């Protein structure tokens, strides 16, 4: 059976045409499922001809995920462990902020990129997610939030789930076709209707994928995980650096600057005694000089998979001051959900919840 969540609205229109239905019904189908977030199926029938309702019911399945378990952090972040139909597991995280909820979603089961500081990398790559499995994460979490009655989210229930970040398990550009389709479903005005500027894709620096994605969606906000200013040292923690140099990353940033006004987000995880010296800060400033970027400093989140240590807050602040003094916009992201292993670099889809 085909999953409804695999289809963009254009593809649904084709299906309607091929099955002798009026394509005008695609909007109503999308609105019911994604915008009103109605559970299939009874309500989907509203506004649809009876024959179409039956045909959709016969032809499509819906979410491919089942919620296995969840953990709630003391900061309100919630990590979800989803089971896929083939028995694999993935994780997603809902992060409440002052005015909104951001969902961090996965694009693959595991990852082939092998970043040394990342728990996901220890799984290796099992497979990429389908469009439906990517879309389902947001759909399931949206529904879950609305049905809670005793959870920190209760107070936040009226906050919009407005932001999506592709920063969960996997390198999204290694699964570019399905990620691209999922983004199209997320921003469809009759679907979830997310603003494109509230979706962010994070890459370890897979340059061919990045250049292709810039061609496909020029205004998609991009975050690049840099983490080191020297290619050789960067390759010791990010094997992808052996293939794609920092120079190529800078050229890709130039290309982004030429097609959009967006600032690229440069992510820099501070690892104690590895990339956290003030000399590193000065070199980072020099490397990015003149680029339209903002810099996101992230304290390394310690995990049981590697020996790296995190940096002290006061040191991060001093590091950031050097970047500020060179005119950069700098954010320090104190990761949420670290106590439930739901923070940056900690997702491992281990069934320990």
Chain residues binding ligand SF4 by CB under 6 A are 111, 113-115, 118, 120-121, 169-171, 204
Q: Which is nearer to ligand SF4, 94 or 118 (CB)?
A: 118
Judged by CB, which is closer to ligand SF4: 118, or 252?
Answer: 118
Question: Which residue, 71 or 298, is less far from ligand SF4 as judged by CB?
Answer: 298
Residue 83 is encoded by which pair of tokens? 């089971």
16/111 with CB nearer ligand SF4:
111
User: CB–CB of 296/227 below 8 Å?
Assistant: no
Tokens 């390198």 label which residue?
171
For the CB of residue 35, give the shortest distance to ligand SF4 in the complex, in Å. 30
Could you confirm whether 118 is annotated as catalytic? no
Alpha carbon dihedral 220, 226, 108, 94, in 10-degree steps, equals -70
The catalytic residue among 53, 91, 133, 171 is 91
User: Catalytic: which of 104, 111, 115, 344?
Assistant: 344
CB-based contacts of 247, cutoff 8 Å, min separation 6 = none
* Token pair for 92: 């997603």
DSSP-assigned states of every residue in 162-190: EEEEE-SSS-GGGGHHHHHHHHHHHH-TT
Question: In the complex, what is the shortest distance from the CB of residue 347 to ligand SF4, in angstroms, rounded to a whole number?
Answer: 8
To the nearest 10°, report the CA torsion of 142, 146, 151, 157: 90
Shortest distance (Å) from residue 14 CB to ligand SF4: 34
Measured from the CB atom, the residue of 81 and 156 that comes closer to ligand SF4 is 81
Closest C-alpha to 105, from 163, 66, 152, 151:
163
Element (H, E) at 145: helix 131-146
| E-assigned strand segments in the chain | 2-3, 60-61, 66-72, 78-83, 89-96, 101-104, 108-110, 125-128, 161-166, 199-203, 222-225, 264-270, 293-299, 329-332
Report which of 133, 24, 65 is spatially closest to residue 12, judged by C-alpha positions: 24
Question: Is residue 91 annotated as part of the catalytic site, yes or no?
Answer: yes
Shortest Cβ distance from residue 169 to ligand SF4 (Å)?
A: 6
Q: How far is the CB of 338 from ligand SF4 (least distance, A)?
A: 16
Closest approach, Cβ 123 to ligand SF4, in A, equals 9
Point out the residues that are catalytic: 91, 344
């Amino acid at each position: 059976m085909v999953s409804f969540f695999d289809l963009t609205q254009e593809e649904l229109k084709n299906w309607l045409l091929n099955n002798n239905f009026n394509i005008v019904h695609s909007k109503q189908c999308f609105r019911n499922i994604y915008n009103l977030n109605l559970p299939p199926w009874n309500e989907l029938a509203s506004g649809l001809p009876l024959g179409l309702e039956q045909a959709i019911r016969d032809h499509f399945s819906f979410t491919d995920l089942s919620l296995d378990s969840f953990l709630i952090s003391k900061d309100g972040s919630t990590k979800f462990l989803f089971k896929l139909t083939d028995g694999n597991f993935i994780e997603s995280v809902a992060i409440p902020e002052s005015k909104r909820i951001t969902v961090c979603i996965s694009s693959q089961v595991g990852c082939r990129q092998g970043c040394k500081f990342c728990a996901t990398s220890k799984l290796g790559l099992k497979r990429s997610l389908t469009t439906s499995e990517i879309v389902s994460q947001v759909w399931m979490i949206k529904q879950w939030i609305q049905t809670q009655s005793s959870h920190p989210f209760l107070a936040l229930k009226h906050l919009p789930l407005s932001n999506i970040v592709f920063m969960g398990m996997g390198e999204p550009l290694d699964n570019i076709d399905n990620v691209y389709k999922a983004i199209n479903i997320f921003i469809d005005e009759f679907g979830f209707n997310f603003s494109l500027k509230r979706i962010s894709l994070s890459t370890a620096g897979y340059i061919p994928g990045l250049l292709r994605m810039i061609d496909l969606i020029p205004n998609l906000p991009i975050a690049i995980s840099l983490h080191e200013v020297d290619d050789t040292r960067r390759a010791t923690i990010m094997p992808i650096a052996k293939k794609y140099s920092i120079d190529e990353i800078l050229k890709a940033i130039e290309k982004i600057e030429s097609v959009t006004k967006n600032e690229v987000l440069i992510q820099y995880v501070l690892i104690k005694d590895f990339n956290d010296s003030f000399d590193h800060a000065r070199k980072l400033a020099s490397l990015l000089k003149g680029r339209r970027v903002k810099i996101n400093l992230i304290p390394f989140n310690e995990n049981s998979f590697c020996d790296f240590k995190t940096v002290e807050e006061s040191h991060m602040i001093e590091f950031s001051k050097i970047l500020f003094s060179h005119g950069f916009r700098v954010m320090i992201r104190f990761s949420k959900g670290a106590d439930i292993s739901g923070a940056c670099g900690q997702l491992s889809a281990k069934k320990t919840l």
